[in-house]
Chains A and B, each alone.
Chain A
C-alpha cells in the first residue's frame, strides 16, 4: 500500500514539475537575449487559465476529437511510469521497456494527428501531416540510439542504463543523436517553434489549433510531461548516477535535487540551441534527422568496438 502511495506521490510530483521545464527554457532564452522575460511559472498560469476557461468544439468534430486529450494524457502518464522516477526504480518497470515507451508515445501522437484532421480545417491537416512526417523520420535514429544503448548495457530496459556507468564514446554519440531526436519530438527550434502561430511554419501548434479550454490544458500538460521524460532519458545517458538506497528523508531530498539538476543541464543545452540556430525549412528536417541516424550508426559502431 505504501508503495502505491509513494508511486502516486511521485507521479503527481512529476506532473507538477514538468511545466517548470518549459518556463525555465523560456526564461533562459530571454535572459541570454538580455531581456527580462516572463516568470518561470508562466506555464502554470497558462494552465490555470485554460483549466478555468470554457471550451469550444468544432461542429464537424467527432468523438475522436473529444477523446483525444484523455488518450494523449493517459499515454504520456503511462510512459512516465516506465522511467525511473524520483525515489524508486521505474514503478512500471514490469510493464515495458525503452521500446514500448516509444510505442506508447506513438499512441498519443496517432490520436493527436487524427484529432487534427477531425475539425476539417486545413491547418489541422497541415500540422498532422508534418508531425507524422517528422516523427516517422525520427524513428530510425531513435531506434539506433536504443540499439546502441542496449548493446552497452545488455538490455532495452530503461533501468539498465540508469545504473552507474562510465561515459564512453558510444554514450556520447547516442546522447547527441538522441538530442536531435528529442528536439524533433518536443517541437523545439530548429525543427518546430512553440512560440509561433505562423501557418507556414507551425507543426505541433497547428495540430492543436482547434483545441481550447480544459482539453487544450490537458494536451499542453501532456507535452510538458513528454518533454520531461525525454530530458530525463537524455540526462540519464550523459550523466549516469546510481539509484540511492532509500534510507531517509534527507537522502531522498538530495536525490530529487540531483535528479532535477541533471535535467536542468539538459534544459540549458536545449535553450542554448534554441537561441543560437534558426528554424529549418520543413524538408531540411529530413537531413537533420538523417544526420541523427548517421550519429546513431556511429554510436553502434563505438558500442561494437567497446569504446
Chain B
C-alpha cells in the first residue's frame, strides 16, 4: 500500500470553494457574538466557538486535500462536528431527533462514497487524486457507471437532493442560526464540490445520460423543495426547503455541463458550469443572509412560527431590510445576484438547444419551463415569508415585544446584503473568474473563449448576440424611480392622510383579520394536492347540542417521502433485525460455533486473493 500523503491541493476549483466557505463563515462568526449572548451559558458559548472553528476547519480540509483517504477523514469530521452542532440545543427533544436522522442519513451517504472510493482504489492502487484520475481512463464502462451512481447517492445525501433530502429540513433549522447559515450556505456545497471534483474532474464524463440523470434529479429537487417550502410556516424550515430547491438549480448547471461535455461542446459545458458555480456562490450569500435574519427574528421574538409574527418591519427595520434584500435575491429579482445566476442557467438551456438535436432539444425546453415554474413559486414563497413575518400588524405578543438586534448581528447581515448587491452588479468580471474555475475543473482551456454578457453569440442563426447588463438595469430602475417620484411630487404637494385600513365598514380590524401564511399558500396547496395530499382535522367542542363552544381546525400535508419511502424502509429494517435476533439465543456453544465458522470463511476468502 502506498503511503498516504497529506499534500494540500490549491487549484482554481479548491480556491473557489475555499472562498465560498470563508465568505459566509466570516459574517456568521461575527453574527454569533451577539446571537449566543444571553441565549446560552458561558460554558456553552465556549463550546459553540470551539465547534464552529472545528466545523470551518473541517470544511476547509474537505475542499483542499488531494487524497481520497484524507478526504474521507475530513468529510467524517465535518459530518460529526455538524452533528454536534445540530444537537447543540440538546434540551429540545426535536434537536436530538433531528440529529439522529441527520447522522443516520449522512452515514448512509458516506457508505456509498466509501464504496465508490474503494472501487477507484482497486484500479489506481493509490489514494492520490491524480493517480485515480489517470486510472479512471482505463476503467471499464460498467464500473464507471456504478462509481458514478455511488458518488451521486453519496454526495447527493449531503447535498440534500430529493429523495435523499429527508434530513435537511430537520437538521438545518435545529442548529443555532449562525450554524444553520453555514450548513445551508456552505456545508451542502461541499457535496457539489465532491460531484465536480470526483465525477467531472477525476472520473470524467463519458456517457451523455449521466448529465440527463443529474438534470432530472436536479429538477425534481427544485420542484419538491419549493413546493414543500410553500407549505412551511416555520421560517427556518422554510429556508431549509429552499436549500433543497437551490441545490437543484446549482445541479442543473453542473448536470448541463456534464451533458455538454459528453456531447463534445466544451464552450457550452464551461458556460453551464459557470452558471452552476455562480448560483452556488450566490446561494451561499443569500441563504446565509436569510438564515442570519431568521435567527435575528427568532432571537427577538422567541418563535419561529410565522403565524405568530407580523409587523416586524417597524420594530426591526434593519433586519427587515436585510431579509427583503435576501428574499429579492433568492426570488431572482433584478438587479441582485440571484437574478444573474438564474438568467445564466436558463440561458445555458436555451443556448444548448441550438447545438443538440431532436428529443434532447425538447428535454431542454421542458426542463427550462420547469425551472421557470420553480422561480415563480420561489417568488410566491418569499412574498409569503416577508409579508407574513414583517408586514401588517403583529399577530401575537411575541412580535409586539420584539426589539432590533445587537450591532454584531447587524454587521453580519449587512455584510452579506452588500455582497448580494455586489455579486449582482459585478456580473461580468465574476463570470470571467468563474470561467477559469470551470475550465480547470473540466480540463478545458478557456484562454480562447470569451465570456461576457455583452453581445455573446452562440447560435449560428443569430445575427446579433444577447445582452445583459445588471448595472444598466439597476441604473434605469433608479432613474425611473426618481423620475416617477418627482412626477408624484409635482402633481400634488399634499401629504397623504393616514387612516385605518378599509374593512368594509367594520372599524375594529385587528391582527386576527389579517391574512395568514396558511391562507396565502392555500391555492398552491389545492393546485399541488396530487403531490401534497393535504388533509384536515376539524373538531367541534359542544356545550350542548345547539351551542358549539369552540371549533378547532387543522390542516396538514402528507409527508410523501417519509410515508411512502422511509417508513416502509424503516419497518423493513426493524423487521429483519427482529428476524436476525434469533441468532442470539444466549448459548455460549452456539457463539463458539459462530466464531469457528467465521474463521473458516475468512481463511477461505483469503485464499481467493
Taking A54-B496, A132-B383, A136-B377 as contacts, is the C-beta distance between A154 and B461 under 8 angstroms? yes
Closest to B361 in A: A304
In whole angstroms, what is the CA distance A129 to B377 when docked?
11
Selected interface stretch from A18-26, A73-81, A262-270:
A73-81
Q: How far is the CB of B531 from chain A (nearest CB, A)?
A: 13
**Bitwise interface map of B from 14 to 32 toward A, beta carbon under 8 Å scored 1, else 0:** 0000000000000000000
Query: By the criterion CB–CB under 8 Å, are A58 and B365 in contact?
Result: no
Q: Of B376, B382, B462, B522, which contacts A138 at CB under 8 A?
A: B376
- Interface SS of chain A: helix
Query: By the criterion CB–CB under 8 Å, are A94 and B388 in contact?
Result: no
Q: How far is the CB of B363 from chain A (nearest CB, A)?
A: 10
Query: By the criterion CB–CB under 8 Å, are B343 and A103 in contact?
Result: yes
Taking A110-B331, A128-B520 as contacts, is the C-beta distance between A300 and B362 under 8 angstroms? yes
**Bitwise interface map of B from 432 to 448 toward A, beta carbon under 8 Å scored 1, else 0:** 00000000000000000
What are 14 contact pairs spanning A and B, CB under 8 A? Answer: A58-B500, A74-B481, A78-B477, A94-B467, A96-B468, A100-B473, A106-B376, A120-B501, A125-B519, A154-B354, A155-B465, A157-B462, A218-B488, A301-B362
Shortest beta-carbon contacts, A-B, top 3: A125-B515, A136-B376, A154-B461
In whole angstroms, what is the CA distance A6 to B472 when docked?
19
Does A113 sit at the interface, judged by CB under 8 A? yes
Does B284 sit at the interface, judged by CB under 8 A? no
New A-B pairs, 6, CB < 8 Å, besides A70-B481, A120-B392: A52-B491, A69-B484, A121-B502, A122-B515, A132-B379, A297-B366
Selected interface stretch from B170-178, B204-212, B367-375, B595-603:
B367-375
Selected interface stretch from A30-38, A209-217, A230-238:
A209-217
Q: Which of B444-490 contact A (CB under 8 A)?
A: 454-455, 457, 459-469, 472-473, 476-481, 483-485, 488
Taking A51-B492, A57-B498, A137-B527 as contacts, is the C-beta distance between A121 and B513 under 8 angstroms? yes
Q: Of B500, B502, B523, which contacts A283 at CB under 8 A?
A: B523
Contacts of A154 in B (CB 8 A): 354, 459-463
Does B334 sit at the interface, judged by CB under 8 A? yes
Q: How far is the CB of A298 from chain B (nearest CB, A)?
A: 10
Closest to B378 in A: A136
Closest to A152 in B: B461
Query: By the criterion CB–CB under 8 Å, are A95 and B472 in contact?
Result: yes
Closest to A133 in B: B523
Q: Which of A101-128 contact B (CB under 8 A)?
A: 103-104, 106-107, 109-110, 113-114, 117-126, 128
Query: By the criterion CB–CB under 8 Å, are A78 and B480 in contact?
Result: yes
Closest to B456 in A: A155
Does B497 sit at the interface, judged by CB under 8 A? yes
Does B346 sit at the interface, judged by CB under 8 A? yes
In whole angstroms, what is the CA distance A7 to B421 when docked?
28
Q: How far is the CB of A229 from chain B (nearest CB, A)?
A: 14
Query: By the criterion CB–CB under 8 Å, are A114 and B383 in contact?
Result: yes
Q: How far is the CB of A173 from chain B (nearest CB, A)?
A: 13
Does A251 sit at the interface, judged by CB under 8 A? no
Which of A124, A138, A148 has its CB near the most chain B CB atoms (within 10 A)?
A: A124
Query: By the criterion CB–CB under 8 Å, are A135 and B361 in contact?
Result: no
Query: By the criterion CB–CB under 8 Å, are B501 and A218 in contact?
Result: no
Q: Of A136, A148, A213, which contacts B380 at CB under 8 A?
A: A136
Q: Of A74, A147, A151, A304, which contacts B369 at CB under 8 A?
A: A147
Query: By the criterion CB–CB under 8 Å, are A139 and B372 in contact?
Result: yes
Query: By the criterion CB–CB under 8 Å, are A155 and B466 in contact?
Result: yes
Contacts of B372 in A (CB 8 A): 139-140, 142-143
Does A56 sit at the interface, judged by CB under 8 A? yes
Contacts of B404 in A (CB 8 A): none
Closest to B339 in A: A103
Query: By the criterion CB–CB under 8 Å, are B343 and A300 in contact?
Result: no
Contacts of A103 in B (CB 8 A): 332-334, 339, 342-343
In whole angstroms, what is the CA distance A119 to B509 when docked?
11
Closest to B377 in A: A136
Contacts of B551 in A (CB 8 A): none
Taking A100-B343, A133-B380 as contacts, is the C-beta distance between A81 and B476 under 8 angstroms? yes
Contacts of B346 in A (CB 8 A): 99, 143
Closest to B465 in A: A155
Does B314 sit at the interface, judged by CB under 8 A? yes
Taking A92-B472, A119-B501, A296-B369 as contacts, is the C-beta distance between A218 and B484 under 8 angstroms? yes
Contacts of B364 in A (CB 8 A): 147
Query: By the criterion CB–CB under 8 Å, are A106 and B368 in contact?
Result: no
In whole angstroms, what is the CA distance A11 to B362 when docked?
38
Q: How far is the CB of B516 from chain A (nearest CB, A)?
A: 8
Query: By the criterion CB–CB under 8 Å, are B369 and A70 in contact?
Result: no
Which of A63, A132, A210 has its CB near the most chain B CB atoms (within 10 A)?
A: A132
Contacts of A157 in B (CB 8 A): 462, 464-467
Closest to B516 in A: A125
Query: By the criterion CB–CB under 8 Å, are B492 and A129 in contact?
Result: no
Does A83 sit at the interface, judged by CB under 8 A? no
Taking A95-B473, A129-B522, A157-B465 as contacts, is the C-beta distance between A117 and B343 under 8 angstroms? no
Query: By the criterion CB–CB under 8 Å, are A117 and B391 in contact?
Result: yes
Query: By the criterion CB–CB under 8 Å, are B387 and A114 in contact?
Result: yes
Contacts of A133 in B (CB 8 A): 380, 523-524, 527
Q: Of A122, A155, A293, A301, which contacts B462 at CB under 8 A?
A: A155
Does A60 sit at the interface, judged by CB under 8 A? yes
Contacts of B500 in A (CB 8 A): 58-59
Q: Which of B306-322 contact A (CB under 8 A)?
A: 311, 313-314
Does B414 sit at the interface, judged by CB under 8 A? no
Q: Of A125, A139, A143, which contacts B514 at CB under 8 A?
A: A125
